[in-house]
């Protein structure tokens, strides 16, 4: 019970910093996160956290145009200049 209250308060405060999530939705997400942490095993939590981190990096990179795979778009043969 106390974990859900703490999760709701933390989610509500985090939602204040986000433009896409309002405070009540943050509270609901905080309660859901507290419930998931309680029920899931440690390897699952680590995997989910790592997946969320890499998804965020990928999406942020797509916004900036610096995402993974955004190097030179030319074929290797087109990069090499012809002699002469």
Element at 63 (helix H, strand E): helix 42-64
Please check whether residue 40 lies inside any domain of the structure.
yes
How far is residue 78's CA from residue 13's CA, in Å, rounded to a whole number? 52
Please check whether residue 84 lies inside any domain of the structure.
no
Task: Count the domains in the chain.
Answer: 1
Please check whether residue 77 lies inside any domain of the structure.
no
26: containing domain = 2-64
What letter does residue 83 receive in the DSSP assignment?
A: P
Q: What six digits make up the tokens of 14?
A: 């985090």
Whole-prediction pTM:
0.42
How far is residue 47's CA from residue 8's CA, in Å, rounded to a whole number? 23
Please check whether residue 74 lies inside any domain of the structure.
no
Q: Which residues contact 13 (CB under 8 A, 6 or more apart)?
A: 26
Q: Give the model's pLDDT for residue 50.
A: 92
For the chain, give the percent of residues with pLDDT over 70.
76
Least confident of 5-9, 38-42, 72-76: 72-76
Q: Give the model's pLDDT for residue 59.
A: 86
């Amino acid at each position: 019970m106390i974990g859900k209250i703490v999760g709701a308060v933390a989610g509500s405060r985090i939602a204040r910093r986000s433009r896409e999530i309002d405070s009540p939705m943050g509270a609901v997400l905080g309660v859901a996160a507290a419930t998931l942490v309680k029920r899931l095993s440690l390897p699952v939590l680590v995997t989910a956290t790592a997946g969320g981190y890499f998804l965020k990096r990928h999406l942020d990179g797509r916004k900036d145009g610096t995402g993974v795979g955004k190097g030179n778009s030319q074929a290797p043969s087109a990069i090499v200049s012809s002699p002469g």
